[in-house]
Chain A
C-alpha cells in the first residue's frame, strides 16, 4: 500500500523554543533578546508563507526491506537497524519535504546578508521537516489501525540512511522502491535529497523491546548527538 499526503502548515509549524534550542539556546530562563524574537517571528512568517509540505509512505515486507537495506553493500557490518527490522511487525518506506521555496528563501537571505533570519529559517525548516516525518508516520499508523492490524502496544520509530550504520548510499534502493519524485523529492549523485529540507527512511513498528539497543557500535563513538537514547526513552515514557 502506498499513500501520498499533503501536510497542512499547522501540522508542521515549528515551535519557537524548539527553533531557539536548535540554534544553541539553553533552557529558556528569560525571554530572548527582542531583536532575536523579531528575527524569529520574521523567519516563522516566511516559513508559513513558503512551506509546501508533502509526504509519502509505502508499506514493504521484511523481505523486501532486506534488499533495500543491503543496497550497495556499504552498510556497517553490524547496525541497530539490521537487528531491529527482521523482528518488526510493520515497515514502511517514507519521504517528506517542506518544499523548494523554503530552501530558496534561506539562500536568498544569506546572499543579502540577513544572517539572523536566514539561520533562524534554516533551523525552523529542519524542525518542520521532522514534524512532517512524524505526521507521515502517524498516517501510516492510522492506516494500519483502520485495517485493524495494529496491536495497542506497537511502537514506531524512524531510521534514515546516513545514520546508525545504514550507509547513505542506501538512499538509492530506497528511492527506487518509494519513488518520491511525485512529491518533488529527488536524489543527487551523492545521495543528497533535493529540496534540502527533506527526510527519508523507514518507519519500523513492533513491540518496544525490538527498538532497544546499546549504543556501543563502533560508529557510535563518532556520534555527537546520541539521539537514539532520547528516542528509546520516549517510547518508555509513552508506555509502549
Chain B
C-alpha cells in the first residue's frame, strides 16, 4: 500500500510530523494498526538500521528516525488491542552493577524498539539478580548487558551463571556490549552474543530470537 511506503520513507528521513500525519491517515483508511506498524514504521526503521550499519548515515539521523517512530507509535497506540503496541519479542536491557554509563545502552534500546522489540530498560548499576528477575517477570527472550569498565565486566559472567543455575539458559539468551567487551570475552563467559554497536546489537538480537525455541 502506497501510504505505508510513504510512512516508511518519511520515517527514514526523520520527519516526525509527517510520520504522525501519515500514520493517522492510514488509521483513517482502516488499515490495521499491526500492518501500519510492521509495513510502515518497522520497515522504515529497518532501512535506517541497515544504512547506519553501512555508514551511509550517522547517529543523529538514526535518532531523528527513532523520534519519528515514537510519534507514529503514539498515534497507533489507542488502536492496538488493549492499547499495547505488539512486539516481536521482549528484551531486558541494563548497564551492569557498578557501572553508570548509560548512553550506549540507551542507543541499543532505541534501535531495538525501532526494530519492533519491547525493551524493558532497567537503567544502570543493575544487580545480576535483577536482570534474572526482570527476565522471568516479563517473559523476556533476551537479556542485554552493557559495561564500560573492566571492573564491572565480571557482573556479566554472574548473570550468565545465574541463568544456568536457574536452568533458564536455553530460554533466555544473553548479549553483551560496551567498550572493554569483546567476542572473546562473550565466548569465555558463555554469553550467547556480542555486539560492537547499536545496529549490530539489533542484528544479533534478531538472530538470537530466531534461534529461540
Residues of A within 8 A of B (CB): 20, 23-26, 32-33, 35-36, 39, 106-107, 110, 113-116, 118-120, 122, 162, 167-169, 188-192, 194, 196, 222, 224
Contacts and interface: CB of A to CB of B under 8 A. Distances in A.
A115 B100 contact: no
A171 to B, nearest CB: 9
Nearest to A169: B151
Contacts of A33: 14, 60-61, 64
6 contacts: A110-B102, A119-B60, A122-B103, A162-B150, A196-B100, A222-B182
Given A188-B98, A190-B98, A192-B98, A119 B150 contact: no
Nearest to B103: A122
Contact of A36 (B64, B99, B107): B64
A142 B60 CA distance: 39
B151 A191 contact: yes
Contact of B149 (A24, A110, A113, A191): A191
A225 to B, nearest CB: 9
A192 B67 contact: no
Interface residues of B, number: 28
Given A168-B151, A224-B179, A119 B103 contact: yes
A217 B63 CA distance: 37
Interface of A is mostly: loop
Contacts of A118: 106
Contacts, number: 77
Contact of B67 (A113, A168, A188, A189): A113
A146 B106 CA distance: 47
B59 A24 contact: yes
B210 to A, nearest CB: 27
A15 to B, nearest CB: 16
A238 to B, nearest CB: 28
Given A36-B61, A122-B103, A190-B99, 4 more contacts: A115-B63, A119-B60, A190-B151, A192-B100
Interface of B: 14, 55, 58-61, 63-64, 66-67, 70, 97-103, 106-107, 110, 149-152, 179-180, 182
A120 B107 CA distance: 12
B63 A162 contact: no
B14 A35 contact: yes
B99 A113 contact: no
Nearest to B179: A224
Contacts of B55: 24, 26
Nearest to B106: A110
Contacts of A26: 55, 58
Contacts of B98: 188-190, 192
Nearest to B74: A113
